[in-house]
A and B are shown apart, each in its own frame.
Chain A
């Protein structure tokens, strides 16, 4: 094994990437884990905002609808890097103000929580639009049938609307998830040690820029490929009951 690496001139890279010091592999993986944690949290927070927001936009009163329109428009209009800076400093400022007012003094905000909050707010705006479109694509007759049989509103959402809209929503949500994983890289700007920042630090300390950025790229790619498999499964499940466009078996 080591002969082969030597031959390819990769022995040095392997050493740099090794999981235990002096290798930087462990740092990279820790960064990846942080990135995934944030992406997962932000995606989930986005889904919750998205579901309530979509229902609000579809069935809410005029004031709620206007507020949601402002939210989705502003978030989607402003570059994400700018949003992250605004939301990060706004968020930590607010929390500190509140905590000082209650006499606790300044608090240290966890990077993961801050990251989830910042990206979650961004994801929420896009989720609202994905889910709103999906809900509207559900044949109204299916919702009407549930109402006609006395299904209460919340059960109707859980048993009919959400399962029926899943097939319309999954492609858009898969995109949002992939965007979330990559948007975590933007958090490097506020000094959060996710994969990109860890990579930059490793590269700067060792001058092995090529090795580390290639390794980080590979990690992002693996995440994407893995996500595609998962979302492929989800989509197949969500599309159960719908004949495939290619025709053929059930």
Chain B
């Protein structure tokens, strides 16, 4: 059952043995439709795991099961070694535990999902101040430096609707960073952007990868995945069809489906 575990490959990055996220035998159905058919995956601290695959292969669903935005049909999810308690029907058994774990997972969505009635600064301090009960002054200071870091230092008091998609997504990354997450979850962060805005967002993510952030990144940007990922996972119809180091997955794919997928993308 553990044959699909990424452990053997991820441990190649030595000194990062502590596990950040572990997915065990994850199944997820929407009614009749079985979208995930037993996924096993482990990401260790500092890993950048890129998840690739065709549209509808279950990438988003897998990512969203980690923080229970989707409730798994069966399987086990561990974050930082802690099992997320789950009932028979897949719903979280302990709301407080889940909420605590969720604050450790910084999620970045395809469609940004900033709170439109709040300025960028208010978006970034929202969770630190209200969920994590940090002091407002401290949160503001940190938020300003995060906004500066993603190149939005001068936009702190602007509402999201007045910004480009690329700017909104960078603000959303700042919001995710504000909780100082153990793991960042990116669901196609550049797919909703005009081509000329993709680069600025990738630059920010590249920077995070370089500083050793643990990230699970669903993406269609193959060049980028190859560049930043330690480990690449190819999902096909709800199963991990192939995984490995980027060179191996992109240059010497074993699976025929992965070969076809890579051809179709280029």
Please indicate the chain B residues that have their CB under 8 angstroms from the CB of A110 in the complex. Answer: none
Select the stretch in A51-59, A129-137, A235-243 that faces chain B. Answer: A235-243
A149 to B179, CA, bound (A): 9
Is B118 interfacial (CB 8 A cutoff)? yes
Please indicate the chain B residues that have their CB under 8 angstroms from the CB of A62 in the complex. Answer: none
Per the 8 Å Cβ criterion, residues 137-167 of A in contact with B are 139, 141-142, 144-152, 155, 159-160, 163-164, 166-167
Given A149-B102, A152-B99, A241-B159, residue A144 in contact with residue B113 (CB < 8 A): yes
Please indicate the chain B residues that have their CB under 8 angstroms from the CB of A142 in the complex. Answer: 113-116
Is B113 a contact partner of A141 (Cβ separation < 8 A)? yes
A residues with a Cβ closer than 8 A to B are: 139, 141-142, 144-152, 155, 159-160, 163-164, 166-167, 238, 240-243, 250
A167 to B115, CA, bound (A): 13
Is B223 interfacial (CB 8 A cutoff)? no
Please indicate the chain A residues that have their CB under 8 angstroms from the CB of B67 in the complex. Answer: 148
A145 to B169, CA, bound (A): 13
Please indicate the chain A residues that have their CB under 8 angstroms from the CB of B16 in the complex. Answer: none
Is A144 a contact partner of B160 (Cβ separation < 8 A)? no
Please indicate the chain A residues that have their CB under 8 angstroms from the CB of B131 in the complex. Answer: 149-152, 155
Q: Would you list 9 pairs from A and B whose C-beta atoms are within 8 A, ordered by A residue?
A: A145-B113, A145-B115, A149-B126, A150-B100, A150-B101, A150-B102, A151-B99, A167-B117, A242-B159
Per the 8 Å Cβ criterion, residues 88-123 of B in contact with A are 95, 98-103, 105-107, 109, 111-119
A178 to B117, CA, bound (A): 26
Is A150 a contact partner of B117 (Cβ separation < 8 A)? no
Given A141-B112, A150-B100, A159-B130, 15 extra CB contacts under 8 A = A146-B115, A147-B69, A148-B67, A148-B107, A149-B102, A150-B98, A150-B127, A151-B127, A152-B131, A155-B131, A163-B117, A164-B116, A164-B117, A238-B117, A242-B116
The smallest C-beta distance from A170 to any residue of chain B, in angstroms, reads: 13
The size bracket of the interface on B is: 20 to 34
Please indicate the chain B residues that have their CB under 8 angstroms from the CB of A149 in the complex. Answer: 102-103, 106-107, 126-127, 131, 179
The smallest C-beta distance from A247 to any residue of chain B, in angstroms, reads: 12
**Of A148, A160, A243, which contacts B161 at CB under 8 A?**
A243
Per the 8 Å Cβ criterion, residues 40-65 of B in contact with A are none
Please indicate the chain B residues that have their CB under 8 angstroms from the CB of A164 in the complex. Answer: 115-117
Given A241-B117, A241-B161, residue A147 in contact with residue B111 (CB < 8 A): no
The smallest C-beta distance from A135 to any residue of chain B, in angstroms, reads: 14
Please indicate the chain B residues that have their CB under 8 angstroms from the CB of A250 in the complex. Answer: 158-159, 162
The smallest C-beta distance from B16 to any residue of chain A, in angstroms, reads: 25
A152 to B159, CA, bound (A): 24
* Least CB separation from B68: chain A residue: A147
The smallest C-beta distance from B174 to any residue of chain A, in angstroms, reads: 13
A37 to B114, CA, bound (A): 40
Is B105 a contact partner of A148 (Cβ separation < 8 A)? yes
Is A159 a contact partner of B126 (Cβ separation < 8 A)? yes
A138 to B100, CA, bound (A): 25
* Least CB separation from A241: chain B residue: B159
Please indicate the chain A residues that have their CB under 8 angstroms from the CB of B158 in the complex. Answer: 250
Is B159 a contact partner of A148 (Cβ separation < 8 A)? no
Is B102 a contact partner of A240 (Cβ separation < 8 A)? no
* Least CB separation from B129: chain A residue: A159
Is B116 a contact partner of A150 (Cβ separation < 8 A)? no
A145 to B105, CA, bound (A): 11
The smallest C-beta distance from B50 to any residue of chain A, in angstroms, reads: 20
